[in-house]
Amino acid sequence: MASVTMEGYNSARTVIGEAIADIGDKDERVWLLTPDVGFGCKDFKEKHPDRFIDTGIAEQDVVGVSSGLAYDGNMPYIIGMMPFMSMRALEQVRTDVCYPNLPVRIIANYSGLTGNGGSTHYAMEDMALYSSLVNMTVCAASDPVQLRQIISGSLTYEGPMSIRIDPGKSNRIIYNEKKDRFTIGKGYTACEGKDLTIIACGEMVDYALQLQEKAASEGLSIRVIDMFTIKPLDEDLVCKAAEETGRIVVWEDHLMKNGLASAVADTLMDHMINVKSFKRFGIPQVYPGFGSAEELYHRYGYDLDAVWNYVKGLF
């Protein structure tokens, strides 16, 4: 068995690298910056060295410099690690990017309990923090096909954006490159169903689809919405799902409070929609420690079995 090198460890980042190099070819406004997370940057750096900056491990700086570039008409993409992009650089993101509403794009990995880096290296709060910023659009990609489309769509999208991804070693390809189309700001109904809706994002969409298959074999019809844009939330799709299926499960690899589930709950309350059941699955109030993502999802009660047991119990 071959050794796994740092580069081979990052399949999603390769997708990012290709996608950004592509848009860099098409549009001279595109810059690529990284605070020393440069694996996916190789293609772009080779093709457009004059529009590439590695700031070293300096998240505040990478955002500030991107702000300056964007003030001058450019469209900077940052590849970084989400725990640090969302916390170390939060004020720069808020004040230097969101306040002037500049088209800076932050693509960052180690989202949720992925990567086994321990609690310093998990981004559990990023969707909550970024969602609270005026003008910010918050995305969570669930597979490489979708990620590629979000990145190409970002070229014509206004204002600041963040895109969270996992480290990507063993991403399952969920979507079909030719058939599935994703629009930033719209949820994607990955599977229709009438008994219950699972609204998921990022890593958890794959599990939601596995759960849906399991449920179908037992006669349950589960709708799966891939809510890859957390903000602005596709409220129409949430309301429709609540009205049509009457039961909502929200599933995210993020603190279960203040992330996607909270946004969905806000929407249901704002529209005065009564549901028969509402349940959130995600990270409880803990600093989770070490373990593989699968182990941690199990330990903290939001793995496939935990959600399936809950769903089964409803019917």
Q: Given the rule CB under 8 A, which residues bind other proteins?
A: 50-51, 53, 55-56, 58, 60-61, 63-74, 76, 91-92, 95-96, 99-100
Strands 105-109 and 161-164: parallel
Shortest reach from residue 74's CB to other proteins, in Å: 6
In order of 16, 161, 175, the CA distances from 146 in angstroms are 11, 15, 7
User: Could you identify the residue written with the tokens 């989202």?
Assistant: 111
Q: 92 or 111, CB closer to other proteins? A: 92
Q: 10 or 74, CB closer to other proteins? A: 74
Cα(165)–Cα(202) distance, integer angstroms: 7
Q: 134 or 216, CB closer to other proteins? A: 134
Residue type, 80: G
Shortest reach from residue 78's CB to other proteins, in Å: 12
Q: 99 or 278, CB closer to other proteins? A: 99
In DSSP terms, 149 is beta-bridged to: none
Q: 99 or 310, CB closer to other proteins? A: 99
Shortest reach from residue 55's CB to other proteins, in Å: 5
What b/e readout covers 32-68, taking b as 16+ CB neighbours within 10 angstroms? Answer: bbbbebbbbbebbbeebeebbbbbeebbbbbbbbbbe
Q: 60 or 183, CB closer to other proteins? A: 60
Shortest reach from residue 214's CB to other proteins, in Å: 49
Shortest reach from residue 33's CB to other proteins, in Å: 9
Instruction: Choose among 78, 74, 135: nearest CA to 109.
Output: 78
Instruction: Choose among 16, 4, 312: nearest CA to 166.
Output: 16
End-to-end Cα separation, the chain, in angstroms: 46
Q: 100 or 291, CB closer to other proteins? A: 100
Shortest reach from residue 149's CB to other proteins, in Å: 28
Shortest reach from residue 111's CB to other proteins, in Å: 24
